Structure 1
Amino acid sequence: MNNVSGTVLYFTLSGFSTTVNYKAVLFSLTLLCYFLIVFVNLSLILTIIMDRNLHEPMYIFLCFLCINGLYGAAGFYPKFAFDLLSDVQVISYVGCLFQVYVLYSNVKVDYSILVAMAFDRYVAICRPLEYHSVMSVRNTTLLLSLCWIIPMSLDTTIVILASRLKLCGSRIDKLYCENWSIVKLACGSTTANDIFGLVVISFYICHFLLIALSYTQLVKAALNSKEGRRKFMQTCMPHLFCLFNVTTALLFDVMYSRYGSGSMTQDLKNFMAIQFIVFPPILNPVIYGLILTKIRNRMIYLIQITRHGKRQASGNRLSYSQIIIIQCDQ
């Protein structure tokens, strides 16, 4: 039973209607994608934690960016993989609101951390003599706390507003739950939800403007010296790539959610709906791992140590077997 006394108990995720014929392939790709996300993010997290030389604000922000990638993936992939193998794709009302909270807060935390990283690069290149006082342990901790507390407070409000709506339907035209899909099912007024949604969008547009302003100053500073250009290319380019990656993915999702065309095929809708959960958590750590010299060198060193350890273990096993043979011959 889906509706009791006007209260929706379950939502149907109708985005799975086109996946019937290739469930096994999608399930395999989902597991592969989830494994890649866990592997690349966990590798970067452990690399930063294990190397004291990487205990600097920029790398600490990066570490939490990867932690957030794991957090967002955990809110989508297990449920998505389960739905691919199920005959009926439904999610409980409470589970739907929880998924909205996790996925929305994941994107907002991502963007907030990228803003903090832009500020860190601005101070490092434009005000290098003040860097250690401005980006102190206390200030770095405060920035990180705000990067998590503000988005999660906003999403708590979003979920509360959504939970107050009386719904006249239970069909969500997506592969997962999202706030705008729930709001569209409301019978009554959604003014409060719409206004708060515009406030949140405006708030994160201001984030983008702050990043643009900081990079205007960064480019000016980088052009003035060879050292500034070197720092910009080494530490700012990966940040720009990740920023473009997250912004593009987010714009696709916002445009699709609010202005999605009815003429689009369901497969295209599905791709636009999930690309912000697929690409940023994989590409962000890969981009930083390949471009940032300290991280790249540290990861290469750890791989070499691991291989060396395996060779030593193999050599030890070989020596032991040789001893056994000699003993048998005697």
Structure 2
Amino acid sequence: MNVSLMSDAVTLTVYTSIGSIGYVFLTVVFLIYLATLLASATVMLLIFLDTSLHKPMYMFLFCLISNGLIGSTAVWPKTMNVLLTNNPLISLDGCLAQVFLVLTYGVCNYSILAVMAYDRFVCIFRPLQYHTIMTPLKVKQLMFVANCIPAAFVFGQTFIASQLPLCRFKMHKIFCDNLAVVSLSCNGSAWGNVYGMIITVLLVVLPVFLILFSYVKIIVLTLKASTSARKKVFETCSPHIITFVNFSLVTLFSAYYNRFNSFLPKEANIVVSVNYILFPPLLHPIIYGMKTQEIRQSFSKVIKRILLQ
């Protein structure tokens, strides 16, 4: 009998196969999630409190780190609860919430990275006009476009998934994602597939193209510049490039697994999930904290202030 998405619970069967390594996995998740909270809170507080960091680049970084916290918090507290209680059930409301938050985390990462690439493009190619182009109003508009518009599209995708009748209530996943929920339905949704392709093109392919275009132009310009200019551009852009490459690799790995998981060992699901939504939210604040001179200087000032009290 068909059952709607809002009327039952799903069993996350991957937890039943973890076995004796469950507590090891719990410890790893707890430590990395705790480190993510601490690293993210540190960088976000520095940006919020230090007026020298009240610049477009750091406003966008604040959004990127906040987005990582949303994605990791959507998954890992529930994961730790399942591992502690040995109860692999998740309500369908909770499953649907995870679908929305995890998908929003993914597409917003790309849209925010695209906005950050645009900011670096303007900074390098229009240095004298930078402050007239990147006005406070423009920054707010870009932040709205990078966060709210993708979330609205994802809400539509999640709503379509919520209307599918379900015939199965078991998924071999650590957390719920859209493809996994669709796979539980009695029959797929052609409109949902089309809508998903639209989201992929507009919110993943287009941002990636804009990021690559920006950095190809920047690299071409840098090759013609002096050694000191190259060094300055590299210091400015390297955190963003590292973050983009890191997230793109784990996203490609995750997409490949979701499409071809029948050909891969089931244990790969744990690796994919950890790579996609556990490590990037931790690495983003660490990469920017280590590679960005202004953040390092701000952190040093705070530490000295604390030690001298």
Shorter-normalised TM range: over 0.9
Match of 1:104 in 2: 103
Distance 2:58 2:169 in 1: 43
Letter in 2 for 1:138: L
State the TM-score, normalized to the length of structure 1. Answer: 0.89
Question: How far 1:280 sits from its partner (Å)?
Answer: 0.9
Question: How far 1:289 sits from its partner (Å)?
Answer: 0.5
Distance 1:249 1:194 in 2: 23
Question: How far 1:67 sits from its partner (Å)?
Answer: 1.3
Match of 2:174 in 1: 175
* C-alpha distance after superposition, 1:12-60 (max 9, x if no partner): 1011122221222222212111110100011000111111111110011
* C-alpha distance after superposition, 1:247-296 (max 9, x if no partner): 1111111111122243x333222111231111111111111111111111
SS at match of 2:280: helix
Contact persistence 2:2–2:186 (CA under 8 A): no
Match of 1:298 in 2: 298
State the TM-score, normalized to the length of structure 2. Answer: 0.94
Distance 1:18 1:66 in 2: 32
Structure 2 spans left out of the alignment, 5+ residues: none
Match of 1:6 in 2: 3
Q: What RMSD, in angstroms, separates the aligned Cα atoms of the two structures? A: 1.5
Structure 1 spans left out of the alignment, 5+ residues: 310-330
Are residue 245 (structure 1) and residue 226 (structure 2) matched? Answer: no
Q: How does 1:111-150 map to 2 (within 5 A)?
A: 111-150=110-149
Distance 1:76 1:187 in 2: 26
Distance 1:26 1:304 in 2: 37
Distance 2:150 2:194 in 1: 17
Contact persistence 2:69–2:281 (CA under 8 A): yes
Letter in 2 for 1:169: R
Distance 1:189 1:100 in 2: 16
SS at match of 1:129: coil
Structure with more contact order per residue of length (Cα contacts < 8 Å, sep ≥ 6): 2
Letter in 2 for 1:237: S
Distance 2:260 2:201 in 1: 17
Distance 2:68 2:187 in 1: 36
Query: Percent identity at matched positions?
Result: 30
SS at match of 1:114: helix
Contact persistence 1:125–1:231 (CA under 8 A): no
Are residue 307 (structure 1) and residue 307 (structure 2) matched? Answer: yes
